[in-house]
Amino acid sequence: MGGGGHLRRPLRGQAAGPAERGVVPGVEGAPGCRVPRRGRLAEHPDPRDEQAGGRPADARRDAHPFPRDGIVVPARVRKASDRVVRYVEAGGVRVSVIGLGTWQFGSTEWGYGSTYATGVAGDIVRRALDLGINLIDTAEIYGLGRSERIVGEAIGGRRSDVFVATKLFPVGLPFMVRWRARASARRLRVDHIELYQQHWASPLFPPRATMPRFRRLIDDGFVGHAGVSNHSLRQWQDCEDALGGPVLSNQVRFSLVSREPDRELVPWAQHNGRIVIAYSPLGQGLLSGRYEVSPPSNFRRFRSDFSAEARARRVPLVAALRDIAGRHRAKPGQVALAWLVNKPNVVAIPGASSVEQLEENAAAADLSLSDDDVQRLDSLSA
């Protein structure tokens, strides 16, 4: 797993200068810290296999729970020693098809309460690692650096289990790329970043000004792979040209209510061995059905796709998700995630407000939709 065999140069623990400490005003880098180097992800036996120490088939069948209002989480998800997600291999890396997005870590606009960042968020990261989720995505701008710090603290001594992905916000001069990458690494408590992504296409500096800076980080072994986020196909290709090599991934809004990546990005990624990382894969809750009747009370209420009219247009799609979920003993959100991650070279990074929600997301990797299911969802979301 990880950075494709690049040599790594340790991050030294010298004091950070002013430019290195600040991503944007108010963001401070954590002290330099060394952690164990990355290793290969251990291969774990299928816990369902009796020969691997699992339970007999009859016991497994009886233990497949239907807890609380129809939420389906396979019994093996409940055991911290079990790994349940699938992996995709592309560009020399091996990442879980279900990752963990941490946009909400350290931010207040999601309305998760004051104790979320100080306790629940770290529990979510640790449980994700228990389940075999190795793709943890964050960004310097999330919570003004707090998300990176929460992730770094939660990883602790489990560095070899994690494919760390973070993002550079397109502000500041290109020469600051190295400083800001090191500031992110200090907050994350790592000496190597597997995937360093440009968060948006810069309105001021073209790829030929920024991508060579990414190339130096890769050549120095400090970064494993370059990635982009919120880039069109043309912008993605321009970044590859400027980097002089593959830009591993493009992280974009992608779900049954945001199908644009299906037109160009996904086919190109599949043909060229790249990865599309889907953020907001549940439409920020739209596809769970929770906003069918009552509107959201947090920042979502200001978005046009959460208006009463927009929610009404989604009623047939949500109804189909519920119907398909019922036949698969799943939840609508799990069906929406399965629709995404069954596409080759596509991984999803849903957020989670609780450990329980994380477990439900992870279980979606086990859900196989029929061709009829996929065609039905495609037609209703076109």
Q: Which of 113-117, 163-167, 367-371, 372-376 shows the lowest per-residue confidence on average (mean pLDDT)?
A: 113-117
Residues with catalytic annotation? Answer: 142
Q: What is the pLDDT of residue 211?
A: 98
Check residue 292 and give its pLDDT: 58
What tens digit of pLDDT does each residue of 165-209 get?
A: 999 999 889 999 999 999 999 999 999 999 999 999 999 999 999
Task: Determine the pLDDT at residue 238.
Answer: 98
Neighbours of 158 (CB within 10 A): 15
284 vs 230, more confident: 230
Domains of the chain plus CATH, in order, are 79-381 (3.20.20.100)
Tokens representing 316 are 């047939």
Alpha-helical regions (H) of 233-345: 233-243, 265-272, 308-313, 315-328, 332-341
Terminal-residue alpha carbon distance, the chain: 35
Give residue 309's pLDDT.
Answer: 72
Nearest Cα to 310, choosing from 296, 324, 299? 296
Label residue 156 by pLDDT band (50, 70, 90): very high
Of residues 29, 23, 280, the one with CA closest to residue 169: 23
Question: What share of the chain in percent tops pLDDT 70?
Answer: 69
Confidence (pLDDT) at 286? 82
Average pLDDT value for the chain: 79
And the tokens for 257?
Answer: 């209510």
pLDDT band, residue 153 (cuts 50/70/90): very high
What pLDDT was estimated at residue 85?
77
* pLDDT tier, 104 (very low <50, low <70, confident <90, very high otherwise): confident
Task: Give residue 83's pLDDT.
Answer: 65
Q: What is the model's pLDDT at position 289?
A: 65
C-alpha–C-alpha distance, residues 152 and 164, integer Å: 10
Is residue 199 within 8 Å of residue 141, measured between CB atoms? yes
pLDDT-derived band at 98 (thresholds 50, 70, 90) equals very high
Residue 42, pLDDT above cutoff 70: no
Asked whether the beta carbons of 122 and 129 are under 8 A apart, the reply is no
Query: Average of pLDDT values for 263-273?
Result: 98
